[in-house]
Amino acid sequence: MMILLMFAVQPAAAQSPLSGAEFDVYTRGKTLFYGSDGQVYGVERYLPNRRVIWSFLDGDCMEGVWYEYEEQICFLYEDRLDPQCWVFTQSGGGLIAQFEGDPTATELYEAEDIGEEMLCYGPDVGV
């Protein structure tokens, strides 16, 4: 699947991290697709009251919440107990997320519209 990513004008480290309030204003009510290294990484829907729904675009969706911790935005999802914390910055092309603010860790970019929808299938039903 080919996607076009919006790249930052300057390195993420040179930009100020978004506060929780700034992140909330930017994301609330949106569904954002993220890419990494030119590939689709996943999609997240941002709901009121700092609630989210995440998917790797496989139909398996995880509900969660986010909160601000120091200069990071941390996510807690229903399928794991450990928070996933990211430093978010904003460029002319959208959000950039650096895992735990570590320049050697995963970096995600807000992707342009890739022509897909966020699909969430229900729980598996046994026989």
pLDDT at residue 92, as a whole number: 84
As a whole-number percent, the residues of the chain with pLDDT over 90 amount to: 62
Q: How far is CA 117 from CA 1, 34, 43, in A?
A: 14, 13, 9
Q: Greater confidence, 33 or 115?
A: 33
Q: Which tokens in the block code for residue 3? A: 């996607």
At 38, the pLDDT band (50, 70, 90 cuts) reads: confident
In the predicted structure, residue 3 carries a pLDDT above the cut 60: no
Reference 54, options 117, 5, 120; nearest CA is: 120
In the predicted structure, residue 35 carries a pLDDT above the cut 90: yes
Amino acid symbol at 109: Y
Residue 9 CB neighbours (<10 A): 10
Residues 118, 62: Cα–Cα separation, whole Å: 12
State the Rg of the chain over Cα: 15
47-53 average pLDDT score: 97
Residue 22 CB neighbours (<10 A): 15
pLDDT tens digits for 69-118? 999 999 999 988 899 999 999 988 899 999 998 989 999 999 876 667 78
Q: Which tokens in the block code for residue 78? A: 């229903």
